[in-house]
Structure 1
């Protein structure tokens, strides 16, 4: 499948028109998504546990996520899946601001986890479909990693609501874990750097953490093998082309 960002670049160069800011973002959706995820990581500590602030960041992140999914794969099926997962996520996130009931947070995090898992799968399909490694696909490698980290963090949020006391930490071990703590746990687990000071202690929590550990290892192995395979295939094609040229000469 040809890369749509590359096609847009070629058309823009051929026409001589200078791309607008929206067109530039449209050509690099994975870069915009990755930047948004990193900004979220930096902004969350300033928000603390403010429901309004964290909900606003979550809604903005969902909108950017929907844009990224739409940019890399636009079909009627993907549009309806994005709407079916994204709209309830936004609605339940807004309900969290209005009401403190944990049921809204559970439903909202559940839909957000599903949306992030779906988006990660879409980006993986987008990357593996091409025979050439493009600039946006390199950003997609990082963006997919952060999507998986967010997805599991939302899954952990649902887990501790359904099974209280699923996670403990060195500080305030008796209280529920904050969103930043669960996101930190997700990143450290997915990257296989260790469980840090947040530890799963109940059976369901440990099951999900083990699944994330396997997912992190599988993702890294898949991406490395994909990049190596394309690099070897390109080098082999160049060598065969050179041999054919030498034979003609």
Structure 2
């Protein structure tokens, strides 16, 4: 195999790699066969997302270095919480909130550059479409982290049978909380509104309607931009063919 061609190929499909890693996290993490394996599954899959996210910025020097720094900090924070002795509640809440904050900064950095590439490119390519899908999934993941942080400091911010099933250990390590809040986030982002989880606190309610609006605006703006680019490119191609 010619490895000299592998890196350019991966860079041309960088958003496809990121999308695959995000879908693996979304699908395999909740489907973990044993509760004891949940932290390990989450750690491994989330680190895979961090690597794919950093790689998507590898052609931009300073964003790539910043992504490596934030990604490393997020990995260390995640592993330290799941694999260290349990501290007191105040320290534990601070560690979990710090982990969520670092993860949010990293994902926000990736989302910003992904959307800038997709919206500023003058052509619609397969990788750009993957990037657009990545932006949507990352947006839902980020909102899920925000909800997890809210739940960390206010356990009664959300109500419902699924929330009531969370144990004290789930709240401490944040793994199942993250999974549940991620589910709620994507239900809200897509405006499905099943109603099995209900925002109760003012902060949770405000964040929920903000996410619902952001999801609709994202799709409207993105589709309009991609359709516009496709029309412009198709028109330019037709004119070239006519001249020839």
Interval of TM-score (by shorter of Structure 1 and Structure 2): 0.7 to 0.9
Q: Deviations over 1:108-161 (max 9, x none)?
A: 012112211221111000111211111110111111111111111111111111
**1:70, distance to aligned residue in structure 2 (A):** 2.4
CA distance in 2, matches of 1:118, 1:104: 21
The answer as to whether partners of 1:159 and 1:205 remain within 8 angstroms in 2 is yes
Q: Deviations over 1:174-205 (max 9, x none)?
A: 74573221111111111222254122111111
Pairing partner for 1:165 from 149, 156, 178: 156
User: Which position in structure 2 is the counterpart of 1:93?
Assistant: 78
The answer as to whether partners of 1:185 and 1:195 remain within 8 angstroms in 2 is no
Larger relative contact order (Cα-Cα within 8 Å, sequence gap ≥ 6)? 2
CA distance in 2, matches of 1:105, 1:58: 15
When the two structures are superposed, what TM-score results if normalisation uses the length of structure 1?
0.80
Deviates more, 1:56-65 or 1:231-240: 231-240
Structure whose alpha-carbon radius of gyration is higher: 1
CA distance in 1, matches of 2:53, 2:227: 28
The answer as to whether partners of 1:190 and 1:216 remain within 8 angstroms in 2 is yes
Pairing partner for 2:55 from 60, 67, 71: 67
**1:45, distance to aligned residue in structure 2 (A):** 2.2
Unaligned runs of 5+ in 1: 1-16
3-state SS of paired residue (1:65): helix
CA distance in 2, matches of 1:242, 1:60: 45
Unaligned runs of 5+ in 2: 87-91
The answer as to whether partners of 2:21 and 2:45 remain within 8 angstroms in 1 is no
* Structure-2 change in CA distance of 1:166 and 1:174 (3 Å): farther
* Structure-2 change in CA distance of 1:18 and 1:179 (3 Å): closer
Pairing partner for 2:30 from 45, 57, 81: 45
The answer as to whether partners of 1:93 and 1:104 remain within 8 angstroms in 2 is no
Pairing partner for 1:34 from 9, 19, 39: 19
**1:232, distance to aligned residue in structure 2 (A):** 2.2
User: Which position in structure 1 is the counterpart of 2:101?
Assistant: 110
The answer as to whether partners of 2:54 and 2:64 remain within 8 angstroms in 1 is no
CA distance in 1, matches of 2:144, 2:223: 24
Deviates more, 1:182-191 or 1:40-49: 40-49
Q: 2:48 aligned with 1:57, yes or no?
A: no
**1:86, distance to aligned residue in structure 2 (A):** 2.1
